[in-house]
A and B are shown apart, each in its own frame.
Chain A
Amino acid sequence: MKRAVLSRKPSADRRILAILLVFLIFFTSLFSFALFYHHGFVCATSNVIEHQLALGFLEHVAGMNVSDGNILSYNVSSFRMPDSQHYQTSVRIVISNNNYTFNVRITFVDGKFWIYDLDLSSVQLVGDKTLNDSLSVTTQATQEYQGLFNATHCDGLVEMISAALQNQSLVIENDNALLKISHVKNCSTPLDYKRYIHLQWFKKIKNQFTVTAQSIIMSVSKNGFLTAFMDNLATHHVASTDINISEEEAINISIPYAEAYAEKHGQEILLTNTTLEWRRNMNSLRGDDFAIYPVWIVSMTYNKTNEVNVCGYGVLIWADNGEIVRHGPRIFFETTNGGHNSYLWLTLALIPIVLAFTCLMTYSRRKDKNKRLKK
């Protein structure tokens, strides 16, 4: 008890000191915050980095004028996706540029740039940009992006776009990467104008496999705006390239599951097909849901369709550790139990009656006509 009383005194002094200190901080902070908020529009303190990165991207990569007067509205939403460890921050900016109003959404994952998307719905959909003009836009955007975000993982992309321009080729491939370009020749919908040029650059896994989660994607509109930029390489990573399970082992692991299901439903395995893919760790089964692992996909077809429309079974296995990702039947909502066609027999029965009636009518009309002619 005594100890407690004794220990209160220094604590009380400390509190007085703390109060004095915070008063000092209080008045200085009022001043500093007033300066901070004077800047133009309100932004949450926790999203300051994203705010700066978003404006930097717009100015340098998308080539827009982002002075305060041009920004009509600014909105930030941050949330964690269900079943994910990652926080997404979505910055939505309405910006006025050259008498047009643009809606821009920029998404960050854990503070890293991920997606830029430009909505052109309020922009007049005209343009005469060529394929070469649009590819030049992607080159410039890539260079600016690399400089702004120190994105060394983009090395090689600019060279491949240049090669595509030189060779007038829509597919460029080397040992490490694959570039695919598509363009809309006849734009008819707003979406066609927005995605006049669509470019996807894959970094190959093991010099062979491509997966969207390891790619950079860009779109350019018919009037030369960068309308989409997505950097999956900055956010997603290949967690393993080891293939420790052979195709045969994968089949051996899978067969018992398919057989057990088949036995229950009076079916037998007829065909087996196996493929190797790199897939995201969906549902966070192995921790980070943005990590990519090799997966064996073993698909089996049964000799007949059962009572609940199942005619196949599949097993997905992590190819690096041999664990099952998931297994289950092949299910689609196509049913053999078709709907009733209640009028079919009635229709079929009506056809000869209608035909007979028509023939009879024609015959009687002709007969009348002939009679009249004879008269």
Chain B
Amino acid sequence: MNAYLKNLSVALLALSLCFSFSHTLHLTFAKSSTQLGSRYAVPQEEIDADDNITKLTASYSAVGGYTVYNWYGADTTINNIYEAAYGAGHTYSISFYIGHGNVRTVYLIENHYDIMTDDGTWVPDDWIYPHSECQNVRFVFMWSCHLGDTIDGTHFWSGPYGMPHCWLHTTDLSSDGYADSDDGGKAFLGFAGFIWGLSDYLAGDEVYEFLSCFYFASLCYGASYSVNDALDYAAQNVWHVPSFADTYLYKGYNYTYWDPEKMEMVTIYGQMKVYGDGNIHISNFRPSCAMKTGTDGVFYVPNVAISLLKIEMLFNNSDIVGDQTGGTSPYSTISEWPDGKVDLTDILFVSLHYGTTEGMSDWDYMSDIVPDGKCDMADYLAVSLNFGAFGTYIEVTGVTVTFNVGGSKSPDSYGFVEIPQDATSFTVKRNGIPIGAMVIFW
């Protein structure tokens, strides 16, 4: 009886340690990405563009491993703004806001900055400040007028002010995190003065693409691109200049127009500001490995730290079994990518990994065509039998993934399928019929 109790207590202790450890891990790595945006006093063209960009940043955030809260539109409420400043309870959070911004003077001399809810209510910076006390938010981008006018601190009469200060809960930020980054691990991107909307007929295309490129690089390729690198990448692709420093956003811009109310020409000024640590990487997300097996669509779950899979290509032509390499991979960590033909490069690739097994340092899952955890004669024959053959891949539609633990899952809107915890193998199907696939694991 004593031995039984002893064993039971040891088991319970181990179990409770496991639970507490997994809880700690969950808290340590929990990341959230919040999207906010107000439609108030914004034309329909802009609402459409803003809706698209928030969906895009949400999508890239999901790829970057974030839990996404896209609150653009009706969900941009006071409570959700506070929740975003709190990081939605996640210990590492990024936030994006698009909509009107405002600077306002109180007690004649003290400035405050406001963002807008979807119903047009201004939410002042000092109301947000208490909700960011936990300092969960590490990166904020506000596509709005004036919200990057200043980093700032605490007024004598009216308390904390400045959006960078109130969202990141610190004033210890470099005033030019692009040219002279601090090492604080936090960054705020915003605008001093005015900024165009994403649907503006003249600059809209450019600034929309700028945002798209920035988030693409910083989230989908975050391991290689810091915030500053992503700004450079966006500048290169939109304005064909080597760096963000060459763009009008960084240098500042004027816009002169006829103001019908004042009956005179009016010049307004704007400049994009990078406050804090421009060298931070807001994502280190990258796919772990890739697999391509036969037309039966059978795979095993690789024995590495993964939680998602994405089906990149489908094929039902048995001639291209063994087409493992020769193409250009869109992922930095996946070097092998099929090119539609089984040729010498595929044979050489399998030859190179011949004799390796899962877990070895030179193991590559792409070399395991007959999925058994080892690259052997079966894999070699699979390639060699199709030597010289070629074919095309099928569009990824109507796909389901059936796991050995039961249940069938369809990819989400970003193409990802969550791998059940105990699953060890799965079959890819198209319209219910097994089919060959190229699968990336994240």
Known: A232-B240, A299-B202, A314-B201. A18 touches B387 (CB 8 A): yes
The reply to whether the CB of B32 lies closer than 8 angstroms to some CB of chain A is no
Among B196, B332, B344, which residue has its beta carbon within 8 angstroms of that of A75? B332
The reply to whether the CB of B372 lies closer than 8 angstroms to some CB of chain A is no
- What total of chain A residues lie within 8 Å of the partner, measured CB to CB? 93
The reply to whether the CB of A81 lies closer than 8 angstroms to some CB of chain B is yes
The reply to whether the CB of A152 lies closer than 8 angstroms to some CB of chain B is no
Which residues of A (110-124) have their CB < 8 Å from a CB of B? 114-115, 117, 121
Which residues of B (228-264) have their CB < 8 Å from a CB of A? 229, 232, 236-237, 239-243, 245-246, 255, 257-261
The reply to whether the CB of B433 lies closer than 8 angstroms to some CB of chain A is no
Contact B257 A117 (CB under 8 A): no
The reply to whether the CB of A166 lies closer than 8 angstroms to some CB of chain B is no
- Against B, the Cβ 8 Å flags (1 = close, 0 = not) of A210-229 are 00110101010000000011
Contact B351 A30 (CB under 8 A): yes
The reply to whether the CB of A339 lies closer than 8 angstroms to some CB of chain B is yes
Contact B384 A44 (CB under 8 A): no
A-B Cβ contacts below 8 A, count: 232
What is the CB-to-nearest-CB distance from B14 to chain A, in angstroms, rounded to a whole number?
41
Contact A19 B385 (CB under 8 A): yes
Taking CB atoms, residues of chain A closer than 8 Å to B236 are: 107, 114-115, 230
Contact A45 B345 (CB under 8 A): yes
Contact A270 B107 (CB under 8 A): no
- Against A, the Cβ 8 Å flags (1 = close, 0 = not) of B143-165 are 11100000000000010000000
Contact B384 A18 (CB under 8 A): yes
Indicate the member of B122, B243, B261, B329 with the most A CB atoms within 10 Å. Answer: B243
Binding site secondary structure of chain A: mixed
- What total of chain B residues lie within 8 Å of the partner, measured CB to CB? 89
Residue numbers of B with Cβ under 8 A of A are: 41-43, 45-46, 99-108, 112, 114, 120, 122, 124, 143-145, 158, 176, 178-180, 194-197, 199-202, 204-206, 209, 212-213, 216, 221, 224, 229, 232, 236-237, 239-243, 245-246, 255, 257-261, 268, 279, 325-332, 335-337, 344-345, 347-349, 351-352, 354, 380-381, 383-385, 387
Residue numbers of A with Cβ under 8 A of B are: 15, 18-19, 21-23, 25-26, 29-30, 32-33, 37, 42, 44-47, 75-82, 87, 89-90, 92, 105, 107, 114-115, 117, 121, 189-192, 195, 198, 212-213, 215, 217, 219, 228-230, 232, 236, 270-271, 280, 282-283, 297, 299, 301-305, 307-316, 326-335, 337-344, 347
The 9 closest A-B CB pairs, nearest first, are A331-B197, A77-B332, A22-B384, A191-B179, A314-B201, A44-B335, A339-B104, A228-B242, A189-B179
**What 5 new A-B contacts, CB under 8 Å, besides A22-B380, A25-B347, A301-B258?**
A26-B380, A79-B332, A270-B260, A330-B200, A331-B42
